[in-house]
A and B are shown apart, each in its own frame.
Chain A
Amino acid sequence: MSFSYVIAWLLPLATGVAAYLAFDRARAAGWRCSAAGYGFVFGLLLVSALTALSARVDTAHAWAHAAPWLVAVAMASIALIWLRGKNGSPLTQQFHRWGKGLGEGALSTTTPRWQRIALLVLLASLAFRAAIALREIWLRPTYPWDAWSAWMVKAKSWFGLGYYTPYVAMHDWMAQAPDANWYTGVAQHYPNALAWVEVWFASAAGGWIEPLINLPWLGLWIALLFAHYGQWRALGLSNTRALFFVYVLGSLPLLTVHAALAGYADIWIAVLFAFAVLAWTRWLQQRDIGQLALALVCAAVLPTIKLEGYVWMASLLAAIAFGALPSRWRWRCVILAVAAFLALFVFGGAKALLGLTGHADASGQLALVLAPSWHGEAIVGIGRTLFAQPNWHLLWWLVPPIVIWHRSELAARDWLWLPGLLLAVCIGLLLFLFLATDASRWAQSFTAINRLVLQLTPAVVSLLALLLRDVDFPAAERGTDPTRDPRSDPG
Chain B
Amino acid sequence: MIRRIILVVVLIFIWLAVLGWAAGVPWNAPIVPTQRIALSGSDFRAQFGSGVPAANVFVVSALAADGTGLQTVPLARVRATDVPVLCYSLADFPDTLELSLVFRRADASDDLGTVSIPAPGSGMACVNLSTYADWRGEITELGFAEYATAQLVPPSVAANFPPFRIESVQLQSPSWSQVFARVRSDWFGYRPWALLSISALGPQIFSLQNSWMQLVVVLGLLFSLAATWVILRWPRQRIALAAVFAAIGAWVLLDLRWLDDFVAKHRVIERLYAGKPWDERRALQPDEDTLAAAREVSRLAQEQGVKRVLVLSDSTYTLLRFIYFLLPLNTAPMAQALGETPGAPPPRDALIAVFGSEWNYDKAAGTLGNGTVAYRVAPVYAKGDLRVFRARETTP
Q: Which residues of A contact B (CB under 8 A)?
A: 122, 125, 128-129, 132, 135-136, 139-141, 143-146, 148-149, 152-153, 156-161, 169-171, 173-175, 178, 181, 183-186, 209-211, 248, 251, 253-254, 256-258, 260-261, 264, 384-385, 387-391, 393-394, 397-398, 446-451, 473-474
Contacts and interface: CB of A to CB of B under 8 A. Distances in A.
Contacts of A158: 328
Interface size range of chain B in the complex = 35 or more
In the A-B complex, list the 4 residue pairs whose CB atoms are closest, starting with the nearest.
A160-B328, A446-B200, A139-B273, A388-B212
Given A156-B327, A181-B307, A251-B255, A389 B212 contact: yes
A169 B332 CA distance: 10
A169 B338 CA distance: 12
A313 to B, nearest CB: 23
A387 B218 CA distance: 9
Nearest to A254: B201
A174 B350 CA distance: 10
28 contacts: A129-B262, A132-B263, A139-B272, A139-B281, A145-B195, A149-B324, A153-B323, A157-B327, A157-B328, A160-B327, A161-B328, A170-B340, A171-B340, A173-B337, A174-B347, A186-B336, A210-B282, A256-B262, A261-B193, A261-B197, A261-B198, A387-B215, A389-B212, A390-B201, A394-B214, A447-B199, A449-B199, A451-B198
Contact of B324 (A152, A175, A260, A450): A152
B266 interface: yes
B344 interface: yes
Contact of B258 (A153, A171, A175, A393): A393
Contact of A388 (B215, B251, B331, B344): B215
Given A135-B266, A170-B341, A144 B213 contact: no
B379 to A, nearest CB: 22
A248 B252 CA distance: 9
Contacts of A122: 252
Contacts of B281: 139-141
B257 interface: yes
Given A129-B259, A135-B269, A174 B202 contact: no
B324 A148 contact: yes
Contacts of B258: 251, 253, 390, 393
A145 B196 CA distance: 9
B321 interface: yes
A135 B307 contact: no
B218 A390 contact: no
B76 interface: no
Contacts of A156: 324, 327-328
Contact of A447 (B196, B270, B317, B349): B196
Nearest to A155: B327
Nearest to A188: B332
B288 to A, nearest CB: 12
A450 B263 contact: no
Nearest to B338: A174
A390 B321 contact: no
A186 B199 contact: no
Given A125-B259, A156-B327, A160-B328, A390 B199 contact: no
A221 to B, nearest CB: 13
B247 A211 contact: no
A119 B328 CA distance: 48
A140 B202 contact: no
B330 A390 contact: no
A159 B327 CA distance: 10
A391 B201 contact: yes
A394 B251 contact: yes
Contacts of A160: 327-328
Contacts of B328: 156-161
Interface in B77-117: none
Contacts of A178: 349
A390 B193 contact: no
B251 A390 contact: no
A178 B347 CA distance: 10
Contacts of B257: 390
B324 A264 contact: no
A153 B327 CA distance: 8
A367 to B, nearest CB: 16
A146 B79 CA distance: 45
A204 to B, nearest CB: 15
Of B250, B332, B338, chain A has the most CB atoms within 10 Å of the CB of B332
Of B215, B255, B259, B261, chain A has the most CB atoms within 10 Å of the CB of B255
Given A258-B198, A389-B201, A211 B337 contact: no
B340 A174 contact: yes
Contacts of A185: 323, 331-332
A214 to B, nearest CB: 12
B327 A448 contact: no
Contacts of A251: 251, 255, 258
B259 A128 contact: yes
Contacts of A264: 198
Nearest to B285: A141
B5 interface: no
B193 A143 contact: yes
A152 B325 CA distance: 11
Given A141-B281, A149-B320, A257-B197, A170 B336 contact: yes
A139 B271 CA distance: 10
A450 B214 contact: no
B198 A390 contact: no
A256 B257 CA distance: 14
B250 A394 contact: yes
B273 to A, nearest CB: 4
Given A393-B258, A394-B218, A139 B274 contact: yes
A474 B244 CA distance: 10
Contacts of A446: 196, 199-200, 203
Nearest to A256: B262
Contacts of B55: none
Contact of A211 (B198, B254, B263, B278): B278
B9 interface: no
A423 to B, nearest CB: 20
B111 to A, nearest CB: 26
A210 B284 CA distance: 13
Interface in B263-310: 263, 266, 269-270, 272-274, 278, 281-282, 284-285, 307
Interface in B314-354: 317, 320-321, 323-324, 327-328, 330-333, 336-338, 340-341, 344, 347, 349
A211 B196 CA distance: 21
Nearest to A383: B215
B378 to A, nearest CB: 19
B241 interface: yes
Given A254-B201, A389-B201, 12 more contacts: A136-B269, A170-B341, A171-B340, A174-B332, A174-B340, A181-B307, A253-B262, A389-B200, A393-B258, A394-B247, A446-B199, A451-B199
B212 A184 contact: no
Contacts of B323: 149, 153, 185
A62 to B, nearest CB: 15
Contact of A170 (B199, B215, B241, B337): B337
Contacts of A390: 201-202, 212-214, 254, 257-258, 261
B266 A132 contact: yes
